[in-house]
């Protein structure tokens, strides 16, 4: 952590750390660092790099908590396009505190947080859980968090615009996961091209419209029918998300 820079000696240090760690079976995540330079292909023990203002800043300040939608809908087009991105994890507490009542709140929905496991690529997906989450989260959310893959065989861009929204599809084996996030303050209705689900009924994780008095919108799991053209109409709530899985 905390050795950023692009000088030759610094770049050599990164690679020497990876090489030495690999001799002892140690996996490596770099923080406070520069962008990765193809290390995923060079070193089997390289996991990810931070190289951005990551989720710890959401915890530290109300300002960054409000910017999470903007940032996470930017990174698939920018930081994460370069290499594995250790954002830091899906945060499931509604408030940035152990008691889930104090400090500032989270401004993204549960489904938004879960969908970032798909829109963001890293070899280790961290889930920021507190004991209370095991009792408070719906069972379908817990099941997804336990089962979401950490490696992928194929990635497809479905739709998006930097800092506004991103919809990404990833495949492991013969199973596809589609994640979508909305970084804006307005609901967004999209018609997605999903040829991998043509003429199928799929699981659809989605936020309900937020009701007055709610801190964050309620989440639900429904069935979505993809038509014979491979198209599906979806609505992503403000600072919300969707997940589509067969």
User: Whole-structure pTM over 0.75, yes or no?
Assistant: yes
Please report the beta strands in 129-240, taking only residues with DSSP state E, as ranges in sequence order. Answer: 154-161, 165-172, 175-182, 188-193, 201-207, 219-225, 231-236
- Split at pLDDT 50, 70, 90, the class of 123 is confident
- Position 5 scores a pLDDT of 85
In 28-153, beta strands by DSSP E: 28-30, 46-49, 90-91, 127-128
Whether 129 has a pLDDT exceeding 90, the answer reads no
- What is the DSSP-derived secondary structure letter of residue 53? -
- Answer whether 96's CB lies under 8 Å from 62's CB: no
DSSP 12: H
- Tokens coding 107: 């401004």
pLDDT, residue 94, reads 95
Q: What is the pLDDT of residues 15-66, one digit of tens each?
A: 999 999 999 999 999 999 999 999 999 999 999 999 999 999 999 999 999 9
Residues 162 and 142: their CA atoms lie apart, in Å, by: 29
Look-up: residue for tokens 């997906």?
A: 125
What whole-number distance in Å separates Cα of residue 221 and Cα of residue 203?
7
Report pLDDT digits (tens) over 202-223. Answer: 999 999 999 998 999 999 999 9
Residue 63: how many other CB atoms lie within 10 Å:
10
Q: pLDDT tens across 65-74, in order?
A: 999 999 999 9
pLDDT-based confidence at 76, cuts 50/70/90? very high
């Amino acid at each position: 952590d905390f050795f950023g820079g692009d000088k030759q000696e610094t770049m050599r240090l990164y690679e020497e750390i990876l090489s030495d760690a690999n001799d002892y079976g140690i996996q490596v995540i770099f923080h406070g660092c520069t962008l990765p330079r193809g290390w995923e292909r060079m070193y089997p023990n390289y996991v990810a790099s931070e190289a951005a203002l990551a989720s710890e800043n959401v915890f530290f300040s109300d300002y960054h908590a409000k910017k999470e939608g903007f940032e996470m809908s930017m990174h698939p087009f920018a930081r994460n396009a370069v290499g594995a991105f250790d954002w830091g994890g899906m945060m499931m507490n509604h408030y940035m505190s152990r008691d889930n009542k104090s400090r500032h709140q989270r401004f993204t929905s549960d489904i938004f947080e879960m969908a970032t496991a798909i829109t963001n690529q890293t070899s280790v997906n961290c889930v920021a859980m507190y004991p209370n989450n095991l009792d408070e989260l719906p069972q379908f959310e817990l099941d997804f968090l336990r089962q979401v893959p950490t490696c992928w065989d194929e990635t497809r861009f479905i739709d998006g615009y930097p800092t506004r929204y991103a919809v990404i599809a990833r495949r492991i084996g013969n199973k596809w996961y589609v994640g979508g996030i909305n970084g804006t303050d307005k609901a967004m209705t999209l018609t997605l091209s999903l040829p991998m689900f043509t003429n199928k009924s799929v699981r659809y994780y989605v936020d309900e419209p937020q009701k007055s008095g709610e801190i964050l919108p309620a989440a639900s799991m429904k069935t979505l029918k993809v038509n014979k053209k491979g198209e599906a109409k979806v609505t992503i709530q403000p600072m919300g998300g969707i997940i589509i899985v067969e």
